[in-house]
Each structure stands twice: as C-alpha cells, then as structure tokens.
Amino acid sequence: MTDPHLPTPPTLYAWAGGLPALERLTAAFYGRVPHDPLLGPVFAHMSPDHPAHVARFLAEVFGGPPTYSAEHGGHAAMLAHHLARRLTPAQRARWVQLLCESADDVGLPDDPEFRSAFVAYLEWGSRLAVLNSQDGATPVLDQPMPVWGWGVPGGPYQG
C-alpha cells in the first residue's frame, strides 16, 4: 500500500531528461554502430529515422508519451522488426555495452537507482530480441507495450 503523503516518484523518462535526453542517447549510440564489427552488419541498412524511432520507443517504455505506439505500432511492431534477424548473444551483449557507454557520453543520470533500472530494461529487452530473432520464433505479438519503472514488483506489463 502506498502512502498518499509521500510524493510520487518521477518516471524513468522524466528522470532521464525526457525525449531530448533519449534522442541524444540514440544518436550517440547509432553514431557508433556503423564502426562496430559486431553491430555494424546488423544495422547496415538502418533508416536515417531509426535513432529517433528507438528514442520514442524507449521514452514510452520508461513512462513517457505513447508516441511510438501511436506512430509505429507499439511493442508488436518492435518485436516484428527483430524476426528472423538471428541476433547472437555476443551482439546482444555488445548492444547493451555500447548503449551504457553512450549513456555516459551524453550525461544520462548516473545514480545507481536509475542505472540499475536502465540496465535492467536493456538486459531484459535485448534478451527478448535475441529469442525472437531466431528462426522459427513465434512471439506473442498482442502484448501491451512494456512499462519499466524503478524495480516495482509486477514486471514490465503493469499498464
């Protein structure tokens, strides 16, 4: 039970700095990707709009506006983008590593609580992407957009 006298904590989206911070993050990350031997081939045919789309996806997951769902199809669309891509565990680990390095580079909050939640989502989401990218994977596409918070029990599907 929550205490009505305590202030409501900000969303991870607000704590990160909103969409501008997530756009800086994805711009920095995808600026590194073409030069990375593991990830370069995965994103070789990436649309110039890809970083902005991922920023909006992360914004929504972290409690921001549902722009990605409204404009790009939500969680089902993100899952569909990974089908049959055959992502490897090494590529997944490198993706997480480069995103964390990019978070440092662009000044995302570095307090342990935020970084713990941020990295937890990256780990969860990237493992889901690897599983759903394998030949024959049949992900459930009608799940709601995950909502990631400060480690609140109940998992990502709280909304």
Question: Per residue in 64-108, pLDDT tens?
Answer: 999 988 898 877 777 776 776 798 999 999 999 999 999 999 999
pLDDT of residue 105: 97
CA distance 27 to 34: 12
Q: Is the model's pLDDT at 2 over the cut of 70? A: no
The residues spanned by each domain of the chain are: 14-132
DSSP 65-93: -SHHHHHH-HHHHHHHHHTT----HHHHH
Helices (H) and strands (E) in the chain, counts: 7, 0
Averaged pLDDT for residues 124-151: 88
Could you tell me which CATH number the domain at 14-132 has?
1.10.490.10
Averaged pLDDT for residues 116-123: 96
Averaged pLDDT for residues 118-140: 90
